[in-house]
Amino acid sequence: MSDNSKREAAEKPWYADGLRFTCSQCGDCCTGAPGYVWVNKQEIQDLADEVADGDVAAFEARYVRKVGIRKSLREFSDGSCVLFDRESRKCTVYGQRPRQCRTWPFWESNTRTPEHWADTCEICPGSGQGELHQIEEIEAARDLFRV
């Protein structure tokens, strides 16, 4: 192997050949311990269009909480996202879900090392299964939302 080939191989991330993921829609990522689903102004508008006839103020009053200078979706007392239907175990806004949800599981924290990915596969039944996502898509998700 030439020095140039070695350098190129060393610069590629461990997931250069892609990672498998197909959402099983189990709802596990929408439930559990309390946390944050960060939303920006555009996402709030898109979600308000979906569930509140475009009324951002009404949407925010019902579904959003301020955390310092940021905004997060509210949660039920059990930690479930307020936009998650606990009976059907489905996201009620799946087509308009925030970038944090859309980029799962390809967050930097999940793809940092093979061990981090293995941990993600343990908690998410769709991770490591199904569709092969190429490095470009993984990198785009990592760049879109950082956790």
> What pTM, to 2 d.p., does this model score?
0.84
Higher pLDDT, residue 112 or 146: 112
Instruction: Give the confidence band of 146 by pLDDT, cuts at 50, 70, 90.
Output: confident
Whole-number pLDDT of residue 33 = 85
Which residue has 């981090």 as its token pair? Answer: 116
pLDDT for residue 4 is more than 90: no
C-alpha count within 13 angstroms, C-beta hemisphere, residue 61: 5
Whether 5 shows a pLDDT value over 80: the answer reads: no
Per residue in 66-90, pLDDT tens? 999 999 999 999 999 999 998 998 9
Integer angstrom CA distances of residue 21 from 40, 47, 77, 128 = 26, 25, 29, 5
Phi and psi, residue 66, nearest 5°: -85, 135
Number of Cα atoms under 13 Å in the Cβ half of residue 9: 6
Name residue, tokens 């596990």. Answer: 28
- pLDDT per residue over 111-132, tens digit each? 999 999 999 999 999 999 999 9
